[in-house]
Structure 1
Amino acid sequence: MRDQIDRRTFIGGATGATLAGLTGCLGGGGGSEAPAHVGMVYSLGGLGDEAFNDMTHAGIQRAEEELGIAYDNTEPEGQSEFSTFQQQFASSTDPDYDLVTCIGFSQLSALQENASEYPEQDFMLIDSELDADNVASYRFREHEGSFQVGHLAGLLSTREFSHEGSYSGTEKTFSTDPEAKTVGFVGGKENPLIKKFEAGFIAGVHHADSEIEVRSAYAGSWNDPGRGQEIASSMYDAGADIVYHAAGATGSGVFSAAGERGRLAIGVDSDQSLSSDASHTIVASMVKHADTAVFNATKDVVNDEFQGGSTVMLGLEDGGVEAVIGTDYEGEIPQDVLDALESSREEIQNGEIDVPTEPEN
């Protein structure tokens, strides 16, 4: 996916009135003729993660195509660059950015200062919230979608299930072992947000069967596939048939481990079965529609309806998160499993199931 993105190298040191050499694309109507200009400050890990950042990029691409806006991308390589890139977009006059999109909770601290310093600049913040008139915040009920894929993992782990596919050019069988009753969770960096993914997943697994063991571990990085593969391999070797990751680009290592061992994995943020070379390992993904949040916020700016000072919360009920069956597994999941997932989704939506945001002790 990364090679398909039109990218230019960011030239450091640009300050004041203009931004130089932003990575990405200036499109949609071109220059001053566009109805709005948007500056994208991505989360750590950058574009090509086939997950959170790429999902938000899809949202701004949709806005370019449907609304005719123009946008530029920046890909911070460290925490300290968040503030710099936010400021460069906010202080630019050629172009004058109508919206600066700040992707990820890690940008909150920098934005708290910059939103105050640039009160006339509209900002969007994803995965956290800031009470400021010039900031529109978007958060998600990741625990609800994670409950759904956890429920799926639990239901499949307790029965004999197999899928014929391939990995690295070799035909393989990807299967579960109902005798093991073990699944796994791999997080990126350990923080309250990713704990919501873990908490929902564990609750969903135990909704299927309270005796299933859930092994959890954190890689400490969003961009270390080798570490993700090492952790997942140890989980599979300990009996896990399915491992769910919420680890950004680190998660590609989980898919590699599943491919090598003929086990199953669950992706995150986007339908990762559509972009991964290890698609036959991905039985499902917990899709988090950050693309919709980016598109809607941009549309609000174009329509002069910017939702500054508000927080939009997106969950199962409004399509903000969902469990999506992997493209290679469509038609293979037993109907009683699909029916059970539909039932738990309805129970979450009507309040019969209260999904935790912190993992069970």
Structure 2
Amino acid sequence: MSLMKTLLAGAAVTALSSGLASADPALIYDLGGKFDKSFNEAAFNGATRWVEETGGSYKELEMQSEAQREQALRRLAETGANPIVMTGFAFGDVLTKIAPDYPDTKFAIIDMVVEQPNVQSVVFAEEQGSYLAGIMAAMASETKTAGFIGGMDIPLIHKFECGFAQGFMATAPDGKVLINYTGTTPAAWNDPVKGGELAKAQKSQGADVIYAAAGGTGIGVLQAAADEGILSIGVDSNQNHLHPGKVLTSMVKRVDNAVFDAFTAGMDLEPGVKVMDLAAGGVDVAIDDSNQPLVNAEMLAAVEEAKAKIASGEIQVHDYMADNSCPAS
């Protein structure tokens, strides 16, 4: 065996003995399930794309209860999964506690900032994408009244609400945005019946376009809006296809890209805060065959103009989480 082959063989044995060369990435879904047609499913789609493009494999876990967060994270870290990606702000406290126990493991958390040397925190400019959805809602609304239905009443979802209201009011200054949340516990993400009831109530108050930022609960909002003959706006994943011709657009949050990028980086995942805004392709509004008949040239032009102005800084969309306030409300 040549010296080069001997060195390579030795390096391979060293890497394998450390357990790192064969480490698979892992993905933990938040409550609501992998196929929630929204946030978690976007994460799943990113992992699926990574498998299709690389031929790699990954581990995954679906949360069944709040109590499982720490156990799930530790279990994956103990198996050598690297990096471990988790969907949702609710993992923040647990990850802050666990990350120091596994200094050789890289973690990525979506929607929360965790300041640890082995953690990448991925945050989105939801307010920017929601602003675009607000413009479209104002242009599509005949009553100049829109609705917003959020899931759990937390600052993160107020980012969606506030951006939407800003875009709507900038386009229809005499308009009105009705606001409801489905709850204050994690169960708020998975209550489509309540989502549907709130949508019907908002319609009775004049809303003819309703934006749902509520995970699985939003499926009930979109269904009720379609049944009631009004428009809805989906969130996170592209939900236009769920009710073709009745979903005005979806505020797409590229959670799939965040997962794909983290899996691709592998053990070279860069710690720190990664901001996925409009300019970085992190958020957008979805236009496809399912909603094209609802979107006219004037609406498209307004959206493109707003995108350019947001990217240049001419339009400053307020981030609710910067000071827990919304100038549009």
Unmatched tracts of structure 1, length 5 or more: 1-31, 158-177
Contact 1:271–1:326 under 8 Å retained in 2 = no
Match of residue 292, structure 1, among 236, 253, 257: 257
Distance 1:78 1:326 in 2: 36
Please report how far the alpha carbon of residue 357 of structure 1 lies from its aligned counterpart in structure 2 after TM superposition: 2.0
Distance 2:55 2:108 in 1: 19
Identity of aligned residues (%): 35
Please report how far the alpha carbon of residue 336 of structure 1 lies from its aligned counterpart in structure 2 after TM superposition: 1.2
- The letter for the 1-side match of 2:57 is A
Residues 34/269 of structure 1: CA separation in 2 closer, same or farther (3 Å cut): farther
Match of residue 198, structure 1, among 161, 164, 176: 161
Provide the TM-score with structure 1 as the length reference. Answer: 0.80
Distance 1:335 1:34 in 2: 52
Match of residue 208, structure 2, among 199, 219, 241: 241
Please report how far the alpha carbon of residue 191 of structure 1 lies from its aligned counterpart in structure 2 after TM superposition: 0.7
- Aligned position for 1:84: 71
Match of residue 102, structure 2, among 118, 124, 127: 118
Looking at secondary structure, tell me which structure has more helix per residue: 2
Match of residue 187, structure 1, among 144, 150, 164: 150
Please report how far the alpha carbon of residue 346 of structure 1 lies from its aligned counterpart in structure 2 after TM superposition: 0.8
**Are 1:268 and 2:235 counterparts?**
yes
Higher mean C-alpha displacement, 332-341 vs 201-210: 332-341
TM-superposition CA deviations, 1:313-344 (whole Å, max 9, x none): 01111110001125322154221111111111
**Are 1:209 and 2:209 counterparts?**
no
Distance 1:332 1:245 in 2: 18
Provide the TM-score with structure 2 as the length reference. Answer: 0.88
Instruction: Give the 5 Å matches for 1:11-22.
Output: none
Distance 2:288 2:159 in 1: 22
- The letter for the 1-side match of 2:258 is A
Please report how far the alpha carbon of residue 280 of structure 1 lies from its aligned counterpart in structure 2 after TM superposition: 3.1
Q: How many corresponding residue pairs?
A: 301
Contact 1:184–1:216 under 8 Å retained in 2 = yes
Match of residue 314, structure 1, among 276, 286, 290: 276
Distance 1:126 1:224 in 2: 22
- The letter for the 1-side match of 2:109 is L
Moved over 6 A (4+): none
Contact 1:151–1:207 under 8 Å retained in 2 = yes
- Aligned position for 2:89: 105
Instruction: Give the 5 Å matches for 1:110-259.
Output: 110-157=94-141, 178=142, 180-220=143-183, 221-259=188-226
Higher mean C-alpha displacement, 183-192 vs 255-264: 255-264
Distance 1:34 1:258 in 2: 50
Contact 1:147–1:201 under 8 Å retained in 2 = yes
TM-superposition CA deviations, 1:143-176 (whole Å, max 9, x none): 000000011001111xxxxxxxxxxxxxxxxxxx
Unmatched tracts of structure 2, length 5 or more: 1-18, 321-325
Residues 150/35 of structure 1: CA separation in 2 closer, same or farther (3 Å cut): farther
Contact 2:59–2:81 under 8 Å retained in 1 = no
TM-superposition CA deviations, 1:261-312 (whole Å, max 9, x none): 11100000011123x2x333211000000110111111111xx53202x111
Q: Alignment partner of 1:279: what SS? A: coil
Contact 2:127–2:160 under 8 Å retained in 1 = yes
- Aligned position for 1:349: 311
